[in-house]
Amino acid sequence: MSVKFFVYLFSTFVVIYALDAVRINQIFKKNKIMQARICYFLIAISLIYLVSNFFIDFFVSSKIY
């Protein structure tokens, strides 16, 4: 498997762990559970992409891999 897979996997765990500390339910109206879940999912996917690309670019530019 490639290094990219492990970077994405690692960043997934880190982002989900970090998002667990955010009280996202207070942002949304009551009884809007599906919208809150969709927003949480999109935020998680976006952060996973950004964090993993940061680490991949950092490793490539510094020639650490």
Q: Which pLDDT tens digit goes with each residue over 31-63?
A: 888 888 898 999 999 999 999 999 889 888 887
pTM score, whole prediction: 0.81
Q: How many domains does the chain have?
A: 1
Give me the count of residues in the chain: 65
> In this predicted structure, what is the pLDDT of residue 65?
55
pLDDT in the model for residue 27: 82
Give per-residue pLDDT as tens, 6-17. 999 999 999 999
Range of the domain at 41: 3-62
Burial class (CB in 10 A: 0-12, 13-18, 19+), 12: middle
H helices of the chain, where?
Answer: 3-19, 33-62
